[in-house]
Structure 1
């Protein structure tokens, strides 16, 4: 139970993935945000595998690689923040919220965000190293952790997308929409900076 509570706290707290997902929900609506959410989830499966097997530590131990990864991640976060900040106001179309003038982020953008998210690696490392679920088998222990983490992340991401999408009715006003989008973009960048400084 302590593992699930820790997983919920670490994966559900505001960070690059969750804030970007809420921003996508607010900027593009729930339905158009599902593809992005699926990409985030798939990316987290890869992060879990990399951390659970120890590959993330091995790769980042290569001399000179960590700064390159950090710069590439920073560029990607700036790009995503720009996409969120410049998303046009949503418009009501046949009972659905939609902003068709600009395409919603695709699955591969969510996938990429998960792979370069420093908070994701830190959270997974803390969860894998800080808890033992099955003492008799390291493999079974890691598989159970991975399964529980994937399920938790899916639930958390649905909640964050829904929270963002719940704001869409207020975002039909162009001034409100712009202010909210810029706020989400700034919060995304601040969450990345915080995760890097930890």
Structure 2
């Protein structure tokens, strides 16, 4: 019974931390809205691959070790900032969708992977979840594997939901003025979410 309560608490916390608006979720909704569900799946796959790497990096303590190197934190922050601005630009300038046109190149899986790896919220969320819950006592490796497995299921569920939420806006994006306003709004929200995550 205790294990069930603990894992349920872990799942709820994982949904709250990974499912709330942030760089990954907002960019995924924006890609779904701007380029459609089908073309957003590759990007979502990249986000998921990136999150696997973030879990490994955070769980193994590599991220903490990297940040202890003098001067590393500002350099990483600048690189991440440049990349997020680039992605926001791609989203804000996506052309209106038309049923007979595929103008505008949707972000690829590698771009999703890079975004996850540069997302400060991802590292903070994973670190909080790993440090706040113990699912298997007296076996650190099994505990980490179980946490990682449950977390990946939650992340995949969250990501597909945000992609579909964004794709639901697709009919509106066939109207140029509405399309431009929605894309610019998503781009601004993406940048704001990055600043918010960095401050936290």
Deviation at 1:165, TM superposition (A): 0.4
**Equivalent of 2:84, from 77, 83, 101?**
77
Residue 56 of structure 1 corresponds to: 63
Residue 195 of structure 1 corresponds to: 197
Matches within 5 A, 1:38-117: 38-93=45-100, 100-117=102-119
Matches within 5 A, 1:139-150: 139-150=141-152
Q: Distance in 1 between matches of 2:98 and 2:134?
A: 49
Number of aligned residue pairs: give it. 193
Alignment RMSD (CA, Å): 0.7
Q: Distance in 2 between matches of 1:142 and 1:186?
A: 36
Deviation at 1:100, TM superposition (A): 1.4
1:14 to 2:16 alignment: no
Deviation at 1:70, TM superposition (A): 0.3
State the Cα deviation string for residues 31-75 of structure 1 (Å, max 9, x = none).
000000000000000000011111110111111111100000000
User: Unpaired segments of 5 or more residues in structure 2?
Assistant: 1-7
SS at structure 2 position matched to 1:11 = helix
Deviation at 1:101, TM superposition (A): 1.4
Q: Distance in 2 between matches of 1:24 and 1:14?
A: 14
1:134 to 2:136 alignment: yes
Residue 177 of structure 1 corresponds to: 179
Q: Distance in 2 between matches of 1:110 and 1:4?
A: 24
Deviation at 1:102, TM superposition (A): 1.1
SS at structure 1 position matched to 2:99 = strand
Post-superposition, which runs of at least 4 consecutive aligned residues in structure 1 deviate over 4 A? Answer: none
SS at structure 2 position matched to 1:101 = coil
Q: Distance in 1 between matches of 2:44 and 2:176?
A: 25
Deviation at 1:146, TM superposition (A): 0.5
SS at structure 2 position matched to 1:169 = helix
Report the TM-score, using the length of structure 2 for normalisation.
0.95
Q: Distance in 1 between matches of 2:82 and 2:75?
A: 11
